Amino acid sequence: MSSDPHSLDELKARLDLASGAATLLAGLCADDGVLERTQTILAEILRAMPLDVADLGICRYEAGPAQWAADTTRIKAGVYLMAIKPFSKLEAGVFARRLNAEREHLRRLGGPVLLIFSQATDEVLRNEAPDFHTWIAQSYVLPSPGELEAIAPKLGVVSLPKKPEAPPEDPIRFLHISDLHLRPGRVKRYDQDRVLKGLLDFLERDRESFPLDLILVTGDLAQSGKAEEYALVSEFLSMLMKNSSVPTEHVFVVPGNHDIDRDIGRWLLRSLGSDKDSIEFFTDKQNRRFHEQKLGAYLASMRGLLGEHRALGVGVGAGAVEMVHLKGHALAIASFHSAWFAQGDDDEGQLWLGEPNIKEALDAIAEKKADFAIALMHHPFEHLSEVERDTVESWCERGFDLVVRGHLHKSKPRSLATQRGGFVELAGPAGYQGSQWGNGCFLGEIRAKAGSIRLRPYKYASGPDPWVLNTEVFPDDEKDNYCRTFEVPVKIRTKSSRIKAGGVGAGESGKTLTEEEKRELLGRAQAQFEKAERLERIGQWDEALRLWKEELLPLYERLGDTRGRAATMHNISLIAIHRGQDDDATRILREDVLIAHERLGDAQGRAAAMNNIAHILYKKGRFEEALRILREDVLPTLERLGDKLTQAVALGTIAEILREQGKLDEALRILQQNVLPVLERFQAHRWTPEFKGDIARILQRQHRLDEACNLLRREVLPILANLMDAYLLTNYRKLLADILIQRGHPEDRPEAAQLLELALKDALIMRIPLAEEIRTLQQKLASTAPS
Amino acid sequence: MKDVREKFRRLTQVFDPIYKPEEGGADSSYVPETHEDYRRQLDAALDLNDNVKLLVAGQPGCGKTTLLRHMARSLRKEGRIVAFVDLEAYTAVQDLDPVEMYIAALTELLTELDGRRDSISAKSLEECCSWLMQMLGSSEPISEPGHIANSLRRHLSNLRDNPSLRYHQRSLVSPGKASDPFEILCHVLSDLSACRPVIILDGLDKIPPERAQKTFLDDKKKPMTDAPGAAILTIPISVVYEPTFNVLSERYFNADSAVLPAVRLWEFNGQTRTRSDKGFSILRNIVARRVDPIDPNMMLPKTVEKAIEGSAGNIRELARLIQAGAVKAYARRKTCIDSEDIEAAIGDQRESFRRAYKPDFLPLLERVHKEYKMDDSTEIAKQLLYGLWVMEYRNGESWYSLPDPVEQLLERLQRNQR
């Protein structure tokens, strides 16, 4: 894009004339990446003119002309600079429409405002805010930051502010080795020694320039889990620590499939079948004791070398996490044992890390306020049982910054950024697999503050200095000496939601309580909260409400736990909604829940509350308003937060509204294309039956009665019964009965009658208005009885 | 004599696209002839039927708000009660619900009544008051229309700033019941029938297209149609281009089109266009009203002529060109704006259009260039009309023309193609 060389002269003339007058100007940049630098240099150029410049920074998403008018009245200046950063597509639309609607406020600007934005943003504004766009007096195509820097001295700028540079961060340096497969009595003992001795020598030479802080070893230290092999392992690791001066507590080891003694494991459980098994296995130490015996030699040796109470992979949950404080950072290192169920060549798909194991480890990491978290494991995620594979990986994306593993004997470092956060995954090569094969290791530098990891790959090559830089791992990074720096995806570590409801946020005002009392109260609150949710699910609403109102609210009050209170009020409002007490529900949501979330800055909680407000509105027939809240408030917020799962749920609500409006095809399309696939992907089994039930409702409307019946019978009701979700079960039992009656097959009658009876029983316990409808259906069924 | 900088300073101010002429003041720059025919129709309709409901739409910058503000003034002079409701100031227009629209209308109407409280019945006042008490939970009864208006205004500004409060307020209203502000508005309006009240709802054209379509084209109940008294509503031009607009327009009483066209610079006989001296003279007048108080010599007649041609009759575009011309003249240390500066400003606009140009605009632009015609219901056509790529005129029937910067761009595009 070319810019007019005179444009700056003209801009200068214009601003000179406009000082103090309300006028809106645009400065266009080639792309969004240069916005801030352009803004900084331009401010200096304008100051040198000289103009009294107020740099208002970046326009907030919530602000618009009204806010600009207020700001420019409050801050006195000759000209105001403001950048508009790109938003996500949904947000950009909302933002642009607000600009359009508030354009009248431009007349109240305190002086000329020069908006700086990219060509891409310009196009969005033209399309979404056409009137606003005609109110811009003139758009100037700005020179690039480079050009601006070059002309700035000619325009009288004495010195440009340098990009503020923080002092270089002293990185935490680590060595990652994996898959040593050490064994005695081999002819190749000489070869093994040559490779590993070479590594020790190399590390010793490198010590000056690369003093190690951590050593990470990810499994297969031995060949078959036998004591005589660990004598070699132990010997090698002691030498390694001596040569690198890394203390034992900074050495982290997890076992691999070659560290288990298969002779012991032969008669043990081969794998787990379900999440339920996984919970039992990973939460009760007794259930793991036989599998732990397979690691006897490994544990004896490593405990002797590194300390009795180390995690070493056999620690589970909080027990897997060890904290290291280095160079002002709190590092959490979680050692996981991916080979609990390793036994043979058919391990792939049979292995379990255990969702409770990972989740509790992450909670511990969040609690300890670690500013960098590393997970060690031997196997790649792909080798885990498919029942837990995606869930476990997604939990890791939420909490870990670096995942270090081995097993495949292949260097495969990569960075994975996802909607939940993500991590850098470092898959290491084999430390030793015979000198004719590739042997290698990684040296790494962690910059926790900058959020980056720089990796230096090494390999074994024959020669006088056998360990050399491996140029094949990052062949394109010649400039950086074949090293590569990975960005660590940003994430917010919080404790998992169930615990959050009772836990986080506590202590905000509960200062008079001692730590012990607080812990005790928190424990009680958490137990009661879980109990109330269980009661709510099985339909014991009166009892759940009593617990919430009489037990939990006072508890949270004492603890000063706003979050806990908001979660409780939210649950109370849900029951009010289900019971048709819409006004109560609206009041609670508006006065209690929304305000609490807004105060806590909890956008997710707020979005959930707005979603429920939309629900109430649509039940009252205010479809368009409900849709607008969902489309313009809830969805953009969730999009911004990257919360795909709740987005899917909100889209489900939209589909419900469309269905009620008779737009059946559109509703069906949303459910099938946008909602269910996401729920599947996130394994959100708890939500799927609800939306499949919605599909059944649509099918009913389309008179596809057989399909609707099959769906409810096969994919909805059995799962709800398993989940013991009384409210949904009642609704869908009634729906199936309704469809059966409508279909009119005489043989369906007993089933319909039974469904209605079950539904009525629960509806009466829950005291929901549905009971009336069920009774009406029962009468209808009776009146059509064959004579 | 003021110094040159000061003169240019004032020129750039009065020709800024966001400049709003002072109402009524001595330096009023309003030119009554601007939309003479159109205004005559509105005046006649208001005069003949006290319950007339009218729509006004138009391309951005064609002068809708200016026209309505002046109509309000002259209607007040006739002794009629006029509530000019600036919805942008009162409500969150991007999320406007009829509930807030009617509260705003009621507020403005009650404000107008201050000092004429006899004209409203005690019953209606009582209704207003109890509505307020119900919504705000206040217990103090208020009886002065002015005080009620103040309370309503405060309530509106809370609603404007707080979305959850808005949703709550809407959920409290049941249509047709005592909780519905429209009902109260109707009662007050019928009390006032002797004063021939007129409600002017300005800013409805700013509601987002999707919502506009719902408000005007989907709902069974159209805004204001069932209220007593007269009303004028500005509507988004996108609504006019919808195929179902005909059905809507039956509910309102515009004798001719609702579209306030650009000032006509040409007469058109279906084939060719000829220069309209009247159109030029109106725009010359508009320019003179703003330039003369500063210094009539700042722009030579030839320069003004050039700017008018370049604007194609859109007043905001005309202002933009003159303002840019003034900046250029000042930057080149001249003492007045000449044609060269306007040429340069037109060139800038051409480049600005070029940045936004998309190849699928070409067939439509070429057709307008050749035949002065366009199918105005396609998405691209709407985009072109909204973005002022194409000007819409009406004499007899509607026809279209390209403003100079777009003509220039088209010419260059065609040249490059060859």
- Using the CB atoms, write b or e for A444-460: b if 16+ within 10 Å: bbbbbeebbbbbbbbbb
Confidence label for A502 from pLDDT (cuts 50, 70 and 90)? very low
Instruction: Look at residue B235 in the predicted model and tell me its pLDDT.
Output: 85
The per-residue pLDDT for range A621-661, each reduced to its tens digit, is 888 889 988 998 899 888 888 888 888 989 999 999 999 99
Q: Residue A16 corresponds to which tokens in the numbers above? A: 């000179």
How large is the angle between the packed helices B277-291 and B301-311, nearest 10 degrees?
A: 120
Task: Determine contact, residues A116/A27, Cβ cutoff 8 Å.
Answer: yes
CA neighbor of B398 nearest in space, from B256, B283, B277, B282: B256
Instruction: Look at residue B1 in the predicted model and tell me its pLDDT.
Output: 43
Q: Cβ of B133 under 8 Å from any chain A Cβ?
A: no
pLDDT at A242 over 70: yes
Instruction: Look at residue A508 in the predicted model and tell me its pLDDT.
Output: 40
Confidence label for A505 from pLDDT (cuts 50, 70 and 90)? very low
Torsion sign across C-alpha atoms B328, B334, B338, B343: negative
User: For residues A249 and A20, which has the higher predicted lDDT (pLDDT)?
Assistant: A249
User: For residues A282 and B254, which has the higher predicted lDDT (pLDDT)?
Assistant: A282
Instruction: Look at residue B378 in the predicted model and tell me its pLDDT.
Output: 79
Q: Residue B278 corresponds to which tokens in the numbers above? A: 């009247």
CA neighbor of B33 nearest in space, from B393, B296, B292, B281: B281
- Using the CB atoms, write b or e for A697-710: b if 16+ within 10 Å: bbbbeeeebeebbe
Contacts of A368 (CB under 8 A, 6+ apart): A321, A323, A330, A332
Subunit contact A21:B330, Cβ cutoff 8 A? no
Subunit contact B206:A590, Cβ cutoff 8 A? no
Confidence label for B418 from pLDDT (cuts 50, 70 and 90)? low
- Using the CB atoms, write b or e for B378-397: b if 16+ within 10 Å: eebbbbbbbbbbbbbbbeee
Tell me which of B16, B173, B351 to substitute to probe the interface with A (most A C-beta atoms closer than 10 Å): B16
Please compute the mean of the pLDDT values over residues B100-119 and round it to a whole number: 85
pLDDT at B195 over 60: yes
pLDDT at B216 over 70: yes
Measured between CA atoms, the residue of chain A closest to residue B379 is A127
Q: What amino acid occupies position A465? A: D
How far, in Å, CA of A66 to CA of A726, rounded? Answer: 49
Instruction: Look at residue B63 in the predicted model and tell me its pLDDT.
Output: 82
Contacts of A746 (CB under 8 A, 6+ apart): A786
Please compute the mean of the pLDDT values over residues A191-199 and round it to a whole number: 83
Contacts of B88 in chain A (CB under 8 A): 101-102, 104-105
Label residue B50 exposed, middle or buried (CB < 10 Å: 0-12, 13-18, 19+).
Answer: middle
- What are the distances in angstroms from CA A654 to CA A94, A648, A667, A671, A685? 18, 10, 8, 9, 20
Confidence label for A188 from pLDDT (cuts 50, 70 and 90)? low
Instruction: Look at residue B103 in the predicted model and tell me its pLDDT.
Output: 94
pLDDT at B93 over 90: no
Q: Cβ of B203 under 8 Å from any chain A Cβ?
A: yes
Instruction: Look at residue B409 in the predicted model and tell me its pLDDT.
Output: 93
The per-residue pLDDT for range A15-25, each reduced to its tens digit, is 988 888 899 99
pLDDT at A165 over 80: no
Measured between CA atoms, the residue of chain B closest to residue A126 is B387
Instruction: Look at residue A167 in the predicted model and tell me its pLDDT.
Output: 64
Region label for A411, one of left (φ > 0), alpha (ψ between -120 and 50) or beta (otherwise) = beta
Q: Cβ of B1 under 8 Å from any chain A Cβ?
A: no
Please compute the mean of the pLDDT values over residues B216-224 and round it to a whole number: 75
pTM (predicted TM-score): 0.50
Give the HSE-up count for residue A266: Cα atoms under 13 Å, Cβ half-sphere.
Answer: 2
- Using the CB atoms, write b or e for B134-145: b if 16+ within 10 Å: ebeeeeeebeeb
How far, in Å, CA of B418 to CA of B415, rounded? Answer: 5
Contacts of A327 (CB under 8 A, 6+ apart): A170, A172, A213
Helices (H) and strands (E) in chain B, counts: 19, 9
The per-residue pLDDT for range A382-408, each reduced to its tens digit, is 999 888 888 899 889 888 999 999 988
Q: What amino acid occupies position A538? A: I
Confidence label for A62 from pLDDT (cuts 50, 70 and 90)? confident
Write a three-state SS string for A206-256. Answer: HCCCCCCCEEEEECCCECCCCHHHHHHHHHHHHHHHHHHCCCHHHEEEECC
Measured between CA atoms, the residue of chain A closest to residue B65 is A104
Q: What share of chain A is helix, strand, coil (3-state, %, to 5)?
A: 55, 15, 30
Q: Residue A483 corresponds to which tokens in the numbers above? A: 């090293």
Task: Determine contact, residues A505/A600, Cβ cutoff 8 Å.
Answer: yes
How far, in Å, CA of A654 to CA of A67, rounded? Answer: 32
User: For residues A100 and A54, which has the higher predicted lDDT (pLDDT)?
Assistant: A54
Please compute the mean of the pLDDT values over residues A131-153 and round it to a whole number: 87
pLDDT at A142 over 70: yes
Which of A100, A126, A624 is opposite residue B214, by nearest beta carbon? Answer: A624
The per-residue pLDDT for range A448-483, each reduced to its tens digit, is 888 899 999 998 887 777 888 888 889 888 888 889
Least confident range of A48-62, A89-103, A345-359, B342-356: A89-103
Q: Please provide the average confidence, as pLDDT, over all residues in chain B.
A: 84
State what percent of residues in chain B have pLDDT above 70: 91
Confidence label for A692 from pLDDT (cuts 50, 70 and 90)? very high
Contacts of B56 (CB under 8 A, 6+ apart): B42, B64, B67, B68, B232, B233, B234, B235, B258, B260
Please compute the mean of the pLDDT values over residues A517-541 and round it to a whole number: 84
Measured between CA atoms, the residue of chain A closest to residue B349 is A138
How far, in Å, CA of A470 to CA of A460, rounded? Answer: 9
Q: What is the DSSP letter of A161?
A: P
Q: What is the DSSP letter of B116?
A: -
Tell me the ipTM for this assembly.
Answer: 0.77
Q: Please provide the average confidence, as pLDDT, over all residues in chain A.
A: 85
CA neighbor of A82 nearest in space, from A112, A107, A120, A106: A112
State what percent of residues in chain B have pLDDT above 90: 29
Instruction: Look at residue B21 in the predicted model and tell me its pLDDT.
Output: 66
Distance of CA B295 to the CA centre of its chain: 29
Confidence label for B139 from pLDDT (cuts 50, 70 and 90)? low
User: For residues A513 and B310, which has the higher predicted lDDT (pLDDT)?
Assistant: B310
CA neighbor of A425 nearest in space, from A383, A388, A389, A376: A376
The per-residue pLDDT for range A346-366, each reduced to its tens digit, is 888 889 998 889 988 998 898
Count of CB contacts below 8 A, A vs B? 129
Q: Are strands B259-260 and A421-427 parallel, antiparallel or unpaired?
A: unpaired
Instruction: Look at residue A331 in the predicted model and tell me its pLDDT.
Output: 93
pLDDT at A550 over 90: no
Confidence label for B220 from pLDDT (cuts 50, 70 and 90)? low
Q: Where are the beta strands (DSSP E) in A234-386?
A: 251-254, 321-326, 329-335, 372-376
Which of A18, A141, A590 is opposite residue B168, by nearest beta carbon? Answer: A590
pLDDT at B121 over 50: yes
Task: Determine contact, residues A543/A535, Cβ cutoff 8 Å.
Answer: yes
CA neighbor of A82 nearest in space, from A51, A109, A115, A41: A115
Which of A9, A18, A134 is opposite residue B388, by nearest beta carbon? Answer: A134
pLDDT at A313 over 50: yes
- Using the CB atoms, write b or e for B240-275: b if 16+ within 10 Å: bbbeebeebbeebbbeebbbbbbbbbbbbeeeebee
Instruction: Look at residue A89 in the predicted model and tell me its pLDDT.
Output: 64
Confidence label for A190 from pLDDT (cuts 50, 70 and 90)? confident
pLDDT at A688 over 60: yes
pLDDT at B106 over 90: yes
Subunit contact B171:A135, Cβ cutoff 8 A? no
Instruction: Look at residue A506 in the predicted model and tell me its pLDDT.
Output: 38
Least confident range of A78-82, A218-222, A537-541, A696-700: A537-541
Instruction: Look at residue B232 in the predicted model and tell me its pLDDT.
Output: 94
Least confident range of B15-29, B57-71, B222-236, B357-371: B15-29
Least confident range of A35-44, A600-609, B404-413: A600-609
Q: Cβ of B416 under 8 Å from any chain A Cβ?
A: no
B contact residues 380-409, partner A, Cβ 8 Å cutoff:
383, 386-388
Q: Residue A697 corresponds to which tokens in the numbers above? A: 């409702």
How far, in Å, CA of B105 to CA of B83, rounded? Answer: 7
Q: What is the DSSP letter of B205?
A: G
- What are the distances in angstroms from CA A208 to CA A453, A458, A749, A757? 20, 17, 85, 80
B contact residues 310-339, partner A, Cβ 8 Å cutoff:
316, 320, 323-324, 326-328, 330-331
Which of A137, A625, A628 is opposite residue B323, by nearest beta carbon? Answer: A137
How far, in Å, CA of B415 to CA of B342, rounded? Answer: 24
User: For residues B67 and A515, which has the higher predicted lDDT (pLDDT)?
Assistant: B67
pLDDT at A511 over 80: no
How far, in Å, CA of A496 to CA of A498, rounded? Answer: 6
Contacts of A311 (CB under 8 A, 6+ apart): A252, A319, A320, A321, A322, A334, A335
